[in-house]
Chains A and B, each alone.
Chain A
Amino acid sequence: MRQHKLWLLAAVFGLFILAGCKQQGAAITAVGSSALQPLVEAAGERYSSEHSGEFINVQGGGSGTGLSQIQSGAVDIGNSDLYAQEKSGINAKKLVDHQVAVVGVVPIVNKDIPLDNLTMAQLRGIFSGQYTNWSQVGGPDVPVVLVNRATGSGTRVTFERWVMNKVPTKAAQEQDSTGMVRQIVSSTPGAISYVAFPYVNKTVKTLKLDGIAATDRNVQTNKWVIWSYEHMYTKGTPTGLTKRFIDYVLSNTVQQKIVKKLGYIAVNEMQVARDLAGHVTKRVGQ
């Protein structure tokens, strides 16, 4: 009887191992940015269903994880919200950048704040700690509650780069996920933070900046400046399945359908291009 059970156990284990090995054929792993993760996951699933025997494993972990994993060669693709050059500890020369989408970042406030519009200087003043009450920027007499993303997160780096202009952000609450930020802003009076476009919903209110609304259209023309590319980094020039998958992500099928559906902006619809240093050029030939 006991012998029996042992055999059964061994058989079950064997099955598990077999199930693990079943992924014959090619498989690649993409790791990193949680902002980019949904897009890569959706594209990966679609790719696998169209190409049997080829698998894309997608994991989160943050932009820093993505960049350090691709740098060490542990994965095939490193997803990041930032240019590799912007991250300390990364040797960007060995990495090849593939910009697969654009994502905008927008300030959000608690719904009780009746303001619709701030100037860029006011927004900067709020996040640097110069304004601590909404009445100082024309709102009601409610103290400002800052909610930041974690230091080094892609969204925060983007926001600080294009809003703060090297003015240090006041030390305040930090949260490590966008969902949490949105939840806190929606439930805390006087709260202000920033989220990527795909995360905006009815529980919070977005602000215009200098009268410009945060729309895809305005990002495409760079009127709305708080946006960043979503990068998929490879170590050296991609080959094989990695190359085929990245080409697939950049293809019209993914760019037009998945990218838009998830709230990102397609790269080929951008009317401008922006390099690492922030220089904006008109895109031609698209």
Chain B
Amino acid sequence: MAEDKIRASLLKESKASKREKHGKILSFAAIGLIVIVVVAIFIFVATRGIATFTVDKGSLWDFFTKSQWNPGATDKSGHPLIGALPMIVGSFAVTLLSAVVATPFAIAAAIYMVEISPRRGYKILQPVIELLVGIPSVVYGFVGLSLVVPFIRNHFGGTGFGILAGTMVLFVMILPTVTSMSVDALRSVPRYYREASLALGATRWQTTYKVVLRAAVPGIMTAVIFGMSRAFGEALAVQMVIGNAALLPQNLVSPASTLTSILTMGMGNSVMGSVSNNALWSLALLLLLMSLLFNILIHRISKKGALH
């Protein structure tokens, strides 16, 4: 009898293995749901975005090279006016400029926090960075509108709205992201790199500049691209300060627009299925593809640049 009992308990599924099964099913279901949602979003945006070119007879060439954006109207040959060049230029301009401005500051802050004064950096800079990350973008936009725009108007001319204002706002917005990721990159440089360098008689600055920074380049690149992808996708704050004129920017202080700003502005004013609406979906598709590209870049760099 006793043998049977043992036998039964051995053959029966134990409580722990049942739990494991449940857990597995649950997590697979969750993963499956996420995958389905992502794929569904992609398909939806893609079909809508492509409709501009297939259903409404917009020309893909016009989309990337012309600068007249008025999807509700058509040109002489009957194609809708969907020149998105001003938005594309605007998006890339604010993204690249803000990354160019933010990177040196971020690297400097990261070096201070990791190499020069880790304790003070941890005590003062860390909370500041975390605070900056937590500020909602509408607040950045509001500050930009009430401080940055008038400042630019008074010192650089123009109306104050434009690429420069967008760059300045985005610079502050992506700075914490780039900084904290650069900090991680510097921290992950193995200790013996520094020790070896110092043992060879290099000064701290030489060690930092020639060894640590060099070794951390892939990580820092990832940080910068991450910041750029955030800048590229930011809508609200940029929309408030850039002026939203679908014009090719003449200079840094003339009103311009980004893909996101035109998208948010047009959403409520167009009807699902109309040309104007489809054209907005095309902008959305372009944004989606760009963020995909940024992600691929990040993966490439972090794979290639992995230490050892």
Contact = CB atoms under 8 A, between A and B. Distances in A.
Tell whether A and B belong to one assembly: yes
Interface string B256-284: 01000000111111111111110000000
B160 interface: yes
Instruction: Indicate the size class of the contact surface on chain B.
Output: 20 to 34
A187 B275 CA distance: 35
Contacts of A88: 72, 271, 274-276
B305 interface: no
Contacts of B267: 62, 65
Contact of A151 (B72, B159, B160, B274): B72
A90 interface: yes
A65 B266 CA distance: 11
A67 B271 contact: yes
Contacts, number: 87
A195 B257 CA distance: 22
> Which secondary structure dominates chain A's binding surface?
mixed
Contacts of B245: 171-174
Contacts of A176: 239, 244, 264-265, 268-269
A35 B101 CA distance: 40
B271 A90 contact: yes
Contacts of A125: none
Contact of A64 (B145, B160, B270): B270
Interface in A168-212: 171-176, 180, 183-184, 187-188, 191
Interface of A: 34, 60-65, 67-68, 71-72, 87-90, 145, 150-153, 171-176, 180, 183-184, 187-188, 191
23 contacts: A64-B269, A64-B271, A64-B277, A65-B268, A67-B271, A71-B271, A72-B272, A88-B271, A89-B270, A89-B271, A90-B271, A150-B244, A151-B269, A152-B72, A152-B266, A171-B68, A171-B245, A171-B246, A172-B245, A172-B247, A173-B244, A174-B265, A176-B265
